[in-house]
Amino acid sequence: MTAATHSTLFPQVPDSADAVLDGLDPEQREVATALHGPVCVLAGAGTGKTRAITHRIAYGVRAGMLQPSSVLAVTFTNRAAGEMRGRLRQLGAGGVQARTFHSAALRQLQYFWPKAVGGSMPRLVDRKIQLVADAAAACRIRLDRGELRDVTAEIEWSKVTQTVPADYVPAVAKSGRVAPRDPAEIAQIYATYEDVKRDRSVIDFEDVLLLTVAVLQDRHDIAEQVRSQYQHFVVDEYQDVSPLQQRLLELWLGERDSLCVVGDASQTIYSFTGATPDHLLDFRTRHPGATVVKLVRDYRSTPQIVHLANGLLAQARGRAAEHRLELISQRGPGPEPAYTEYADEPAEAEGAARRIRDLVAGGVPASEIAILVRTNAQSETYEQALADAGVPYQLRGAERFFDRPEVRKAISALRAAARFGANDSLLDDVVDLPSQVRAVLSGEGWTSQSPVGSGAVRERWESLAALVNLAQDFTTAKPGAALADLVAELDERANAQHAPTVQGVTLASLHSAKGLEWDVVFLVGVAEGMMPITYAKTDEQIEEERRLLYVGVTRARERLHVSWALSRAPGGRPNRRPSRFLDGLRPGSVTTAARTGTAGSGGIVRGFGGSPGAAPRRTQRTPARCRVCGRTLTDAGEMKLMRCDECPSDMDEGLYERLREWRAVQAARSGQPAFCVFTDRTLMAIAETVPDEAGELARIPGVGVRKLNRYGSDVLAICAGQEVEGEGGSD
């Protein structure tokens, strides 16, 4: 969730240019009123940089100093560009172009292609990985799935750093970059990849920038036409600019200097893609007369969280660290960050899910909670744990809200109802706007009760529920609004990609969480080997990992939970230790230089996945092994079944169906989704094991002490072939 959606959903448009400046702090106001010459804004996390630059644009437009169509605001993600357009619209500057580098370049390339090249522009491919696979095959080089992904990333890095195939080998050596394969082989695949694209008349996303640069360099008449259109530029997240993007920006600017850049070198986390903070750090060298404004007032996080964030950067090294910003929290005090150590990763996931369940039960909206992981591979364990705990969640990185099929269909239905509602029997007995929306969307699958499970059906319902909630908020902000007004609002939001909030805990990687914020954040897997990641070897790579953790910490507004596991799987050797980045910051730890012995004592809360007061669990387990083939199990789903997925199942199908019927009764009586009683995997494990006593049942992953006490007698009776009434044991 962003600051924009956390504040008033439908603010009033300021009635004058001066009113646009209301509520800005002195530094933000300085940014907003610096409309001439080059401007560099060094903005720390949570300091309101988007607020400052959108108010700058809006103030210039409303004061008549900037023509909306002459401004191009550029950022790095469609979400960020959509948020910027939404904010500008709310400030009365809706005609400004806010786009990603690729979107702006593609638009120009499509327009000028007939004039610059002639004929039809080649087709743009969404994903290049199949083309890379074909190129590797043509070179008689075999790549597995991981190598294919790595070579594709190398090609992307080469193109954004403007490195041609013939120069790849020396460029890798000069940069100190560690190639995933023999650099000569990668160069060969890269060259063949370019041939394959040419033969098939297709281009990739990097080509969009490269070709736009080529057109603007070679055709001065076209360059001048672009420059006459766009005269003022704003670049957000400037620390993430690649050499290719910087070259395109220079061509857009020409000899002019009407440029405002915003960034924070301490949030540079994409250098593996070719991004570099050098353009930000060298801005004053290239523009000696630039206005430089530093934003350090942190409005997002409590002093306790800001203290940890500042502490992380205080230990950093390198050029970016020399330009770090010391944040000053503007919020009241909150709880100290919590640090928890677990025996293994499944226990860590269960512990986080249990705490989140308690937070939601205590009134914290699920949409205000996030679990942030270092790699996407960690996600599945947390998905399972959240499902077991009955906590709804959404995966960050899925398709954009307004691009979802169910959302497009729902808006079409609302538009039809707005036009022909008088003839729609669904609307006969409803009068207010929220009731009309609920009636229309009930025909699209929305119900007042959320569905069980956490798959596609649940995600579809969550999308429709977000529209229902938005209708209620819209009515509160604009009493008397009609269905047609809501449809117009949805159309404007879709154009701006200003999505409503979808309920559910966010599960995201640290990289995809950039630019977002939540009331409560769980940073999980903060152990050596994961943070920093194992393959981070050089000083520069280690420092980028530190910055990535800094980004994670600064996503939290009020509460921060940091955790790690001593081993990966139950029964594994407890040879992991907390991340070195926490040394001297977490209670009871010392700095890395003075460190001796093992970590994790004084001041660390140890989480064992059991109920309060229960004995520690999982500390003495033997490695989990498949009971069919004997292979060591590491996948959470396989460990729950105690066998490999590909090994044959000896499940009692009749018992499994009886357990499912019993579970349905339990879920209905308790008013919770069925998977909150037991997941399908756990029922499968029970039907395969057929336990005959409590100890055997308790050893099945997914049962646990609480569920054993509540449901154990019923499950054992069903396994023994006895009839049960379905109400289960007592709590």
Classified as helix, coil or strand, 683 is helix
571 among the known binding-site residues? no
Continuous H helices in 478-514:
483-496
Terminal Cα-to-Cα distance of the chain (whole angstroms): 36
Strand partners, 556: 518
Distance CA 112, CA 471 (A): 42
Phi, psi (degrees; rounded to nearest 5) at 74: -120, 135
CA distance 319 to 323: 7
Partners of 261 in the β-ladder: 40, 235
Angstrom distance (rounded) from CA 375 to CA 364: 26
Long-range contacts of 425-432 (CB under 8 A, 24+ apart): 432/475
Q: Is 381 annotated as a binding residue?
A: no
Distance (Å, rounded) from C-alpha 195 to C-alpha 189?
A: 10
Buried b (16+ CB within 10 A) or exposed e, 341-367: bbbbbbbbbbbbbbbbbebbeeebbbb
552 annotated as belonging to a binding site for a ligand: no
Residue type, 225: Q
Query: In the numeric block, which tokens belong to residue 206?
Result: 């990097």
Does 50 show up as a binding residue in the annotation? yes
Residue 294 annotated as part of some ligand binding site: no
637 known ligand binder: no
Token pair belonging to 313 = 């950067």
C-alpha distance from residue 452 to each of 379, 667, 668 (Å): 20, 9, 11
CA separation for the pair 722, 81 (Å, rounded):
61
> Do the Cβ atoms of 227 and 250 come closer than 8 Å?
no
Contact 261, 283 (CB under 8 A): yes
Joined together, the tokens standing for residue 444 give 């699209």
Query: Other CB atoms closer than 10 Å to residue 379's CB: what's the count?
Result: 18
Contacts of 14 (CB under 8 A, 6+ apart): 20, 22, 58, 62, 91, 92
Q: Is 44 annotated as a binding residue?
A: yes
C-alpha distances out from residue 335 to 141, 452, 520, 548, 556, Å: 55, 34, 11, 23, 12
Q: Smallest Cα–Cα separation from 490: which of 422, 423, 442, 437?
A: 437
115 labelled binding-site residue: no
Q: Phi, psi at residue 466, to the nearest 5°?
A: -65, -35
8 A C-beta contact, residue 498 and residue 83? yes
Other residues' Cβ atoms within 10 Å of the Cβ of residue 573: 10
Q: Are 590 and 583 in contact (CB under 8 A)?
A: yes
- Give the sign of the dihedral formed by CA 373, CA 377, CA 380, CA 381: negative
Return binding residues: 43-50
Return binding residues for ATP: 43-50
